[in-house]
Amino acid sequence: MKKHHFIRAMEQDLVVEMIYLSDRNEISHRKIKILQLNEYSMVAYCYLRKTRRTFSYRNILSSVPLLGTRERVV
C-alpha cells in the first residue's frame, strides 16, 4: 500500500492487514488500526500485541485494507 492508501484506511476507520519485518529481521502477520501517520512511520493499534505500536513504512512487506471490518480500539 502506498501512503495515500494508509490515509484512506485511517479516514475510513478500516483495519489493515500487513506482513511486517521487525528490526530484528523477524516476519510477523499483523492486523492494525491506523491512528497517526508520520513522514517515515505510522502509529497504530496492533491487535496482535494489543497495544499501540509504531511501524516503519520501509519494514512493511505487504498490506491490504480489510473492507467492511471496523473494530474498536480499546
β partners of residue 52: 45
Check pLDDT > 90 for residue 74.
no
Query: Can you name the CATH fold of 3-66?
Result: SH3 type barrels. (2.30.30)
- What are the tens digits of pLDDT across the range 46-66? 999 999 999 999 999 999 999
Q: For the chain, give the longest Cα–Cα distance.
A: 33
Domain ranges of the chain: 3-66
The predicted model scores a pTM of: 0.84
Instruction: Give the Cα separation of 21 and 74 in Å (integer).
Output: 25
